[in-house]
Structure 1
Amino acid sequence: MDRIDKHILRLLQQDARQSTADIADKVGLSASPCARRIKRLEESGIIANYRASLNKGRIGIGMTVFVEVSLNNHQASSIDDFEQAVQDMDEVISCHVVSGAYDYLLEVVSHDLAGYESFTRKLQRLENVKDIHTHLAIRQVKGGSELPIFSPSHSQ
């Protein structure tokens, strides 16, 4: 990845609806070479997908909650069952395996407190869930940020 590829990636993260001609103009290429670069970035998996960023408030999401989850055991089948259950819960918008005092950190959204309580009951019904700790997000300071594009010396 050279500096032009990185510039293209930054521009696409800012607004993926830009035309190839607009991107090409901003990076100093003609449209055809720019389109080839974008296609190569897509085919290599660097560009994973394109999506719209939605306004939570406008679609009725009033709460964001971070939930720490500890499991009773760490057998492969229990982990698989928990992770599949989380995949099937629409309220969970991200789930991370973490180190430390708990096993998973979930980011959960809900219309309101009653909706979150309903979600919590689903989570508590899972066999392998030992403990749940909830942190209500009061205000988002930063979010939906563009990913940094590191130099090749930082890549794996």
Structure 2
Amino acid sequence: MPAVQADLDRFDHAILRVLATEGRISAVELARRVGLSKSPVQARMKRLEEDGVIAGYRAILDPVKMGLAHVAFVEVRLDDTREAALQAFNRAVLTVPEVEQCHMIASRFDYLLKVRTVDIADYRRVLAERISALPHVAQTSTYVAMEAVKEAV
């Protein structure tokens, strides 16, 4: 069943734009920026949270400063693409902490992973011991990122 799109007006969009870049902004400052008073902004934020439009709040960490500068993109082809195999892969890939993103792809391969590790040696270990050991993995191809030109968080 497809997700239902929330009914958002211009104030909701304005609130979301500010919160997307400044999640710790005070309600008073947010209200000032979007042209409403504090109470309506708080009510809208509560509704947006309850409706799942705002899925949560989090700290944005700098992976390079955490020693995780190596980024690789991995194409994964499965040996079986029936629903049970896809679900088994999906469940298992969630347990690999080095996999930052996992997308099912409509292409000549089945999944595209974004993997973040300390260095190439660490990546090689993760590929051999974790990614290649995931259910139904038949083949992988790796592309090492040299520089992140644009990376949304």
- State yes or no: 1:114 paired with 2:121: yes
Q: Give the whole-Å Cα distance in 2 for the aligned partners of 1:35 and 1:58.
A: 34
C-alpha spacing 1:31/1:80, structure 2 compared with 1 (3 Å): same
Q: Distance in 1 between matches of 2:141 and 2:98?
A: 16
Alignment length, in residue pairs? 145
1:78 corresponds in structure 2 to: 85
Gapped regions of structure 1 (runs ≥ 5): 146-156
* SS of the residue 2:103 aligns to: strand
Matched, 1:26 2:9: no
Aligned-pair CA distance for 1:52: 1.2
Segment drifting more, 10-19 vs 79-88: 79-88
Tell me the TM-score normalised to structure 1 length.
0.89
Q: Which runs of 5+ in 2 are unaligned?
A: 1-7
Task: Give, in whole Å, the separation in 1 of the partners of 2:21 and 2:133.
Answer: 41
Taking the aligned partners of 2:135 and 2:91, their CA distance within structure 1 comes to 13
Question: Whole-Å Cα distance in 2 between the matches of residues 114 and 79 of structure 1?
Answer: 29
Q: Distance in 2 between matches of 1:81 and 1:34?
A: 42
Is 1:128 equivalent to 2:136 in the alignment?
yes
Structure 1 residue identity aligned to 2:142: T
| Counterpart amino acid of residue 8 in structure 1 | I
Q: CA deviation at 1:144?
A: 1.5
What's the RMSD between the two structures over aligned residues?
Answer: 1.1
CA distance, structure 2, for counterparts of residue 63 and residue 71 of structure 1: 25
Query: 137, 146, 149: which is aligned to 2:145?
Result: 137
| Cα distance in 1 for residues equivalent to 2:133 and 2:41 | 51
Matched-pair identity in %: 39
Give the drift of 1:127.
Answer: 4.5
TM-score by length of 2: 0.91
Residue 13 of structure 1 is matched in structure 2 by 20
| 1:14 aligned partner, one-letter code | T
Runs of 4+ in structure 1 displaced over 3 angstroms? none
Deviations 1:96-125 (A, max 9, x none): 000111000001100111110111012222
Cα deviations by residue, 1:44-73 (Å, 9 ceiling, x for unpaired) = 111111111111111110211100000001
